[in-house]
Amino acid sequence: MSEKPKSTGAPAHQNVTFPSAGSTAHGYLALPPSGRGPGVIVIQEWWGLTNHIADVTDRLAREGFVALAPDLYGGNVAHDTDEAVRMMQELPVSRGVELLSGAVDHLLGRPEVTSDTAGAVGFCMGGGFVIYLAAADPRVTAAVPFYGVIQGELPDFSALTAQIQGHYGELDGTIPVEKLDELRAAIQHQSGITPDLRLYPAGHAFFNDGRPEAYDAKSSAQAWQSTVAFLHDQLG
């Protein structure tokens, strides 16, 4: 593992490298003011490891967490929707989960991390990956998907150990409310866990303050306050 200073000129925020999925992965790590705390994985939108995702990682660190945002695109950042769709489609879900599990390995192995398990917070594509990762990796015990986009079939939730608090927009046409009902029912039936899936009077990407056309300040603030409290409650 090696670390380097953050470069503002880089296409993606990276300041840490670690072994993952048979190769060297990169990510953005932020430490809390105390230097130690519970571990949380932050999973990017389909745009990549952008300023917004690095800012969320920093915000979690200020709340007392050791936060790691793994770079699933290897340093690339999408500049328009077509490119974002292509980059997301070029990352198979199974490969993304493998990379994320490697990030959990790294995070839980760091001396600054005080928790035995990890939380995961993700947005859009990353919100879907929160669900897939929690279903596949029992070391993730607190899962927070923001308007998570599920790619393809739902995973098998029979090994799920995580409590789930999800944040979704009532006006989000990409994730209809009936899809959330299906997700909730599948999780309950297969794992016995009842996910807390919350709706806000907002659309898709309402938490992304870098997109003024989508950002909803009130819904964002409510979701963030709930997320921080949930992670502290679950991880200590």
* pLDDT tens-digit readout, 97-129: 999 999 999 999 999 999 999 999 999 999 999
User: Which runs of consecutive H residues, i.e. helices, occur in 36-122?
Assistant: 51-62, 81-89, 93-109
pLDDT of residue 11: 55
**pLDDT value, residue 13:** 84
Q: Residue 9's pLDDT band (boundaries 50, 70, 90)? A: very low
The average pLDDT across 211-221 equals 97
Average pLDDT, the chain: 93
The strand pair at 196-200 and 113-123 is best described as unpaired
Mean pLDDT of all residues in 173-181: 94
- How far apart, in whole angstroms, are the C-alpha atoms of residue 148 and residue 138? 19
Share of the chain above pLDDT 70, in %: 95
> What pLDDT band is residue 6 in, cutting at 50, 70 and 90?
very low
Share of the chain above pLDDT 90, in %: 90
pLDDT above 70 for 93: yes
Residue 156: how many other CB atoms lie within 10 Å: 12
d(CA 42, CA 53) in angstroms, rounded, equals: 8
CB distance 16 to 68 below 8 Å: yes
Q: What is the pTM of this model?
A: 0.94
Burial bucket for residue 112 (CB in 10 Å: 0-12, 13-18, 19+): middle
Per-residue model confidence (pLDDT) at position 3: 35
Chain centroid offset of residue 49 CA:
11
For residues 218-225, give the mean pLDDT.
Answer: 98
Q: Tens digits of per-residue pLDDT, 122-153?
A: 999 999 999 999 999 999 999 999 999 999 99
**pLDDT tier at 21 (50, 70, 90 boundaries)?**
confident
pLDDT (mean) for 202-220 = 97
